[in-house]
Chain A
């Protein structure tokens, strides 16, 4: 018996499923989300991309080493690995407050890795990529070199800082 060329029901269903899947993928692309870490530094809130933060460490003793500039307060020992620490306040124009109580966010981007002094973690959430808008034109000073966008969060615009820019600022 010659096989019929009539489309099988299973083929119809499968085609429909694939069509739906493609549509869903398009929707997913439109709604791409990113993880962000909100934190405080000095008097203000800021954010990093979650992919750039490997871990948050509790308050650490920072060992000062001769020759370091003010924005590099020293070294920490992370499970036997020696890591540098960056004091973001220097770049963000924040006052040095509460110096003894800070957390260390371990920032990693490519070959760059360093601890970053922060005061507290506010939240870690996924947000639609589309909700990140360009940085405010009114930003000035070194902060302008670090900020890659703004995020509406809790009724405020939070500056999203870029670890790559931070690395460039320090290593140049």
Chain B
């Protein structure tokens, strides 16, 4: 990968339960409206991320199809999709080292500050890798 590839990131931004996330848009194969389906291979974001007892109410659920590698796909219901925006790598902060061991297990790898709002950067492929190794 060249320097040019990592200098900027195109992030798909969405929120679930009041927490804003950013995912590399290159990981997303497709976005479709959620119409109440309950397929066994369709996951809910808050369950995948271990929201536990936090109350989560989806406002405008959307199914994101993630390129999971090796030609496979992973479908997850996310919420309140905002847009795809370009961010500079220099705007990204790593998590405080004390937290890394916990958050990386959930695929969360960095923080982006946008107008004082924290955006949690999420790598779905990392999340899936961690999940398969558990």
Contact = CB atoms under 8 A, between A and B. Distances in A.
Interface residues of A, number: 21
B16 to A, nearest CB: 9
B36 to A, nearest CB: 25
B103 A77 contact: no
A138 B113 CA distance: 46
A84 B113 contact: no
Interface string A74-110: 0101001111100000000000000000000000000
A33 B90 CA distance: 44
A113 B96 CA distance: 9
Given A75-B111, A114-B98, A66 B118 contact: no
A66 B50 contact: yes
B105 interface: yes
Given A65-B108, A67-B105, A82 B93 contact: yes
Nearest to A70: B52
Given A64-B54, A75-B111, A75-B118, A84 B106 contact: no
B105 to A, nearest CB: 5
A170 interface: yes
Contacts of B103: 65-68
Contact of B49 (A66, A112, A170): A66
> How large, as a class, is the contact surface on chain B?
20 to 34
B19 interface: yes
B102 A69 contact: yes
Interface string A105-132: 0000000111000000000000000000
Contact of B98 (A80, A81, A170): A170
Contacts of B120: 63, 65-66
Nearest to B122: A66
A67 B19 contact: no
Contacts of B111: 75, 82
Interface of A: 63-69, 72, 75, 77, 80-84, 112-114, 167, 170-171
23 contacts: A64-B19, A65-B106, A66-B19, A66-B49, A66-B51, A66-B106, A66-B108, A67-B103, A67-B108, A68-B102, A69-B102, A72-B98, A72-B99, A75-B95, A75-B99, A75-B118, A82-B95, A82-B96, A82-B111, A82-B113, A82-B118, A84-B98, A167-B98
